[in-house]
Amino acid sequence: MIKQLAAVLCVLSTTACIDDEMKISGCEPIGAIHPVCDMQSPEDIAALNDGHHLLLAHFGGMHNGTGSLALFDTRNEGITPLFPPASGVVDIDGADWGEPDCGPPPLDTFSPHGTHLHQLADGRWRYLVVNHGGRESVELFELLGDGNNSELAWRGCVPAGPETFMNDVVGMSNGDLIYTRMFHNSNQLEKLLSALGKNTGDVWRWNRRSGLRLLPGTDANQPNGIEIAADERHVFVNMYFTGELWKVDVETGEVVARAPVASGDNSAWGSDGRLWVTTHDDSIPNLLSCFMTQTEPCGAGFDIIAVDPKTLAFESVFSHRGAPMGAATVAVPQAGRVYMGSFVGDRLISVPDFGSN
């Protein structure tokens, strides 16, 4: 822990601790890595089942930044804004999926973070979005249309519990949702406690009839990304500074298995049937340097770790550092490629699908 604090002081006092690869200029491909630039940071990505499109959550940063949701066409790399609506007005017809007294989000401060696209029992597609803007909430959208005609209709929201800064969310076919509380309030004191190894958050479940409840036994140091098993019996939670991936029973909160997958950000199901966990693999000074400018890409090293959902056996399937993009947060397969976003910068990258070999 002394080494971690020394690294923080190093960044605060000088840039001499930061490697040159952290600064990236230009938007040129390198080898098989293809960048798409001139967009706000796509921190989380969800693949539509049409095999061609992605939903992007454009991240404005951890504090006070604003963002948006957009549709990305993998065939021509076009981006279509979806939310906030161009009209500046949220249609509330049919907005009955969340808490009854939860109205539309303030559009001028909308700030998306973790997301999840999944199918409800009635066949409709629900897109869940953690929102930090103006309030701490999960915004519930219905995905309508298809292909380039896809739209997002706001269907309600679920306010977070008290003293909560969320990170990510997943949904269940019955309408329930499960989210990670990363911090209680995200102030500097709690971040210092995190650096000292203290637990800062946990995992919560919401049901429309019974409301929010804590999944007991899920206390950890900066719970981050979450993904749900196909049978919806377990969620897989990346406990970032605890240094583990936890497999958690969605009913009891029991941690049924753990794997030493450290610094895990977001997860997604890979084309090989395994859970792909995007992890950060660089020095603390290099990683902290990524937060200096939200709009500039960062070259911090990352690993995509493929995890067997039954045994939690794991291996690295892709790693990268430097240009054209580092500091990845998520890896999602679509259209024969794997698309990766980041929490900083102006781009995403893609590579040939390493899970389909």
Question: How many other CB atoms are found less than 10 A from the CB of residue 119?
Answer: 13
Average confidence (pLDDT) over 303-331: 99
Q: Which of 120, 24, 10, 117 is nearest to 71 (CA)?
A: 117
Q: How far apart are CA 328 and CA 267, in angstroms?
A: 11
pLDDT at 154 over 80: yes
Q: What is the pLDDT, as a whole number, of residue 13?
A: 46
Helix, strand, or coil (residue 58): strand
Q: How far apart are CA 235 and CA 347, in angstroms?
A: 29
**pLDDT (tens digit, 9 = 90+) per residue, 2-23?**
344 444 445 444 455 899 899 9
Helix axes of 2-13 and 188-195: crossing angle, nearest 10 degrees: 130
Q: How far apart are CA 125 and CA 153, in angstroms?
A: 11
Q: What is the pLDDT, as a whole number, of residue 189?
A: 83
Residue 293 covered by a domain: yes
Q: How far apart are CA 78 and CA 56, in angstroms?
A: 12
Residue 348 covered by a domain: no
Average confidence (pLDDT) over 132-161: 98
Q: How far apart are CA 96 and CA 107, in angstroms?
A: 19
Alpha helices, DSSP H only, in the chain?
A: 2-13, 188-195, 284-289
Can you give the pTM of this predicted structure? 0.95
Helix H or strand E encompassing 6: helix 2-13
Q: Cα 318 from chain centroid?
A: 18
CATH classification of the domain holding 164: 2.120.10.30
Determine the residue type at 286: N
The residue range of the domain holding 233 is: 2-338
Q: How far apart are CA 227 and CA 199, in angstroms?
A: 21
Structural domain count, the chain:
1
Residue 354 covered by a domain: no
Residue 357 covered by a domain: no
Helix, strand, or coil (residue 341): strand
**pLDDT (tens digit, 9 = 90+) per residue, 35-71?**
999 999 999 999 999 999 999 999 999 878 999 999 9
Residue at token pair 């957009």 = 70
Residue 311 covered by a domain: yes
Task: Measure CA of the first residue to CA of the last residue in the chain; give whole Å.
Answer: 40
Residue 70 covered by a domain: yes
Residue 313 covered by a domain: yes
Residue 353 covered by a domain: no
